[in-house]
Amino acid sequence: MLQLIPVIITLAIVILGFVSPAQAATPRPSWVENQIYQYNHQFAAQLPQELATKMQKMTANPFAFYRGTAHIFYDDMQTLPTSAFVNSATSAIWLEGDMHIQNLGGMRDSQGNNVFDTTDFDEGYLGPYIWDLRRMAVSILLAAKENGISANDAQDVVRNFLDTYLNKMSDFKGTNDELSYRLESGNTNGIVNDLIQKAASKTRSSLLNQYTSVGNSGNRTFQTTSELKAISSSDYSNITAAMNDYIASIPSSKRYSNSYYNLKDIHQKLGSGTGNLGKYRYYLLIEGPTSANDDDRILEMKQEIDSAVAIASPGLLPSSFYDNNQGARVTIATKAMLSNTDPLVGYTKINNLFFLLHEKSPYQVDFDYPKLTSKTKFLDAMGYAGKVVAKNHAISDKDYNEAIVPSSVDKEVTDITSGNKSAFKNEIVNFALDYATQVEHDYGSFVNAYKQGVPLY
């Protein structure tokens, strides 16, 4: 694969003894085309129409392109300068991996708390904590520009995101507060509070009515639509057979009776998300706690591959830690970074393909970033985002599994940035400014290739 060999600019930004290097953004059309083709071609034989949808979605704007190309970001992380604020203890922690605005949302946890939290861990892997912050900072700049927020105001939003991250890490240091910390209606306001309230107002019956119906026989099954399609009998049999391994992947303490997982119907889900388009995704209707139709559960079954983060940090998480199954990797990442995790999260394998399964929750609401139409709204929402990312990192350290992350991340991050917060923020803002410009160059190259009919998968 082609490697990026850009012009390096050494910025002599020496603040409190730290040097913040940056790298010039530059057009690289052939490299971008090759990156996109190589990453997506592996799925061309299985779901070419989904890849066509992915490419079309990514033409919308630079932020949509950024969402669909985490693999480019992490390829760049191999060659771009490292951070002055990473030490050995903070260079291999759990990352969400694809940290951007739309991977946050309102939800209900397994204890019935309506919260604002992270919603996706497909790219969960180990790496320097700074990568989650960099990726989020770039997403803020791209989304803010799309929403008409000025460049200076957008930088202030990034700094506020970083301030709340550092402040919350400092709060967690020396305590176990991160284990019970959550953002809910009582300690949020603005659009984030609206998200939580909206999640709280949703019902299971609404979700079931959206995707299923009860026929004359009295059995509930999926509706067939343009985005929800029946599958072949062989696929149905393969998924049914894989259920035993899925059930076995759930800890016995959280496992329900076998009847809970009885399959009632399976359909393939098309058109969901951006980055995952091209991978198999199924909805499974299962019996739930009783034989009544009104408490059925919908499982989402998603194909998982190697994390994009592993492009930049290969080998940091040995596959033996996750049962040599990428679905297990995502399961562990989810449990590491969320409190009161979905008891239905688990994994399985079909024909050498790996799958994550979790509940398609009736109570999840995705972040609607176009509503962030002013600096005040953006500052407020991204302040909460900083707290969420801090919580993700803090609870997934030795508090979760000391064999994977042996240190206290909240202590290490607080200590390494203490007294140098201004330099820390400047470093990430400078990176984000340069990289957002790079994304815009790459987006332009991609759109030109797309319009010219260049093969992209």
The pLDDT score that the predictor gives to residue 381 is 98
Torsion of CA 441, 443, 447, 452, to 10 degrees: 50
- Which ranges of 96-249 would DSSP assign to H, the alpha helix? 129-146, 151-172, 190-201, 204-211, 233-249
Angle formed at CA 144 by CA 141 and CA 147, multiple of 5 degrees: 155
pTM metric for this prediction = 0.94
Angle formed at CA 45 by CA 39 and CA 46, multiple of 5 degrees: 95
Residue found by looking up tokens 């082609």 in the block? 2
- Dihedral sign for Cα atoms in the order 350, 55, 137, 434: positive
Return d(Cα 455, Cα 48) in angstroms, integer.
Answer: 12
Question: At 419, is the secondary structure helix, strand, or coil?
Answer: coil
Query: How many CA atoms does the CB half-sphere of 77 hold within 13 Å?
Result: 25
Percentage of the chain beyond pLDDT 70 is: 95
Torsion of CA 426, 432, 438, 444, to 10 degrees: -140
Does the pLDDT at position 308 exceed 60?
yes
If residue 38 lies in a helix (H) or strand (E), which one and from where to where? helix 29-41
Binned at pLDDT 50, 70 and 90, residue 322 comes out as very high
Return d(Cα 64, Cα 55) in angstroms, integer.
Answer: 10
Average pLDDT over residues 31-39: 98
Return d(Cα 282, Cα 272) in angstroms, integer.
Answer: 11
Q: What is the DSSP letter of 402?
A: T
* pLDDT per position as a tens digit, 138-163: 999 999 999 999 999 999 999 999 99
Return d(Cα 374, Cα 157) in angstroms, integer.
Answer: 11
Binned at pLDDT 50, 70 and 90, residue 4 comes out as very low
The pLDDT score that the predictor gives to residue 224 is 98
Return d(Cα 320, Cα 309) in angstroms, integer.
Answer: 18
Q: Which two tokens stand for residue 12?
A: 């002599």
- Listing DSSP states for 51-99 in one string gives HHHHHHHHTS-HHHHHHT-HHHHHHHHTTS---TT--GGGSSEEE-SS-
Alpha carbon 245 to its chain centroid, in Å, reads 25
The pLDDT score that the predictor gives to residue 19 is 33
Q: What is the DSSP letter of 292?
A: S
Return d(Cα 292, Cα 220) in angstroms, integer.
Answer: 10
Burial pattern 415-429, b for ≥16 Cβ within 10 A else e, equals: bbbeebbebbbbbbb
Average pLDDT over residues 187-191: 97
CA-based radius of gyration for the chain: 22
Q: Residue 288: CB partners within 8 Å, gap ≥ 6? A: 260, 295, 296, 297
The pLDDT score that the predictor gives to residue 24 is 79
- List beta partners, residue 222: 212
* pLDDT per position as a tens digit, 372-421: 999 999 999 999 999 999 999 999 999 999 999 999 999 999 999 999 99
* pLDDT per position as a tens digit, 20-32: 345 679 999 999 9
Return d(Cα 265, Cα 263) in angstroms, integer.
Answer: 6
* pLDDT per position as a tens digit, 324-362: 999 999 999 999 999 999 999 999 999 999 999 999 999
Return d(Cα 434, Cα 447) in angstroms, integer.
Answer: 20
